[in-house]
Structure 1
Amino acid sequence: MTRSQRQARLLALIVPLALLAGAWSFQLWGGLFPCEMCLWQRWPHYAAILVAALAFMMPPRVTKGLVGIAALLIAISGVIAVYHAGVEYRWWHGVTACTGTLDLAGLTPAQRLDRIMGTPVVPCDVAQWTLGGISLAGFNALISLGTAATIAILLGKRR
């Protein structure tokens, strides 16, 4: 296994671990509860960690493929994060069940109650935290897509 492949394997494990540690820290100690789309972004990172960890246990001939799969999973989280950030910045509409709008006009009382009870507590279209105008979803997009690209470059290097 080449040095660049070892670096790619390490990145594929460490970056999703760090991003999830950050997300859980914001949730547990920062009081920022995830919306539905925040949770969607976490699933590919969980899977990437499992695949990257497996790459450390497999023979070198299998490792490159597993690291490539981990990079793809990291990129998928990044794409979901781009979509989520776009919803937060009002560039496009999110999925109806995940936005903060609640239209009750023309509904019966029972339908209104159902709509209220089905509305998420944490809306996906409101950034709970930003730094320099970039939301957590925006940071996930930048870091995840950048990491996936870096892993792809490292895996593509020749000896």
Structure 2
Amino acid sequence: MTDYIATTSGQRATFLCGKSWTAYAGTFVLAVLLFFAALPLAFKYNSRAALVVLIGSALIVGYRLLVIRSVQLYYDEAGVWLASGILPWKKKLHGVKWRDMDEASYESNFWSWLFRSYTVRISQRYTKETEIFASGMARGKDAVASVNARLQEMIGSHAVTL
């Protein structure tokens, strides 16, 4: 996992994981309903309605795909961050600084094990609340291991104090 990305502050960050293919399942079902149910019904009404439904469906499905693809979990020297959103007013960045981090964990059940799509939780030490919660993450299990290893490495080198 040595993929590096550039953050908004110009720092180099290590990319951990993004959404799994299972996160796209709901959008796929919506696309099937829109293109194979709503569009033929609109054609029965008239061609202008069909054009509106086609354009609207393409925009909705395309936007949802891009939003899912925009979710990125990464860490840098300041902490662990979850970035999402494509429109400027919808962009989000949640994070936990290394000094405030308690632990990173993942939830495992039969479906997550089968599809390798895990729910990642990164909690804060002081409030014991989950600061980062991301479901359906590909390589989430490996990402948790990397975050915890990096945290232990930083504690060992006294870069982070408990």
Q: What is the TM-score when the length of structure 2 is the normalising length?
A: 0.33
Structure holding more helix per residue: 1
Choose between structure 1 and 2 for higher RCO, CA contacts under 8 A separated by at least 6 residues: 1
Structure holding more strand per residue: 2
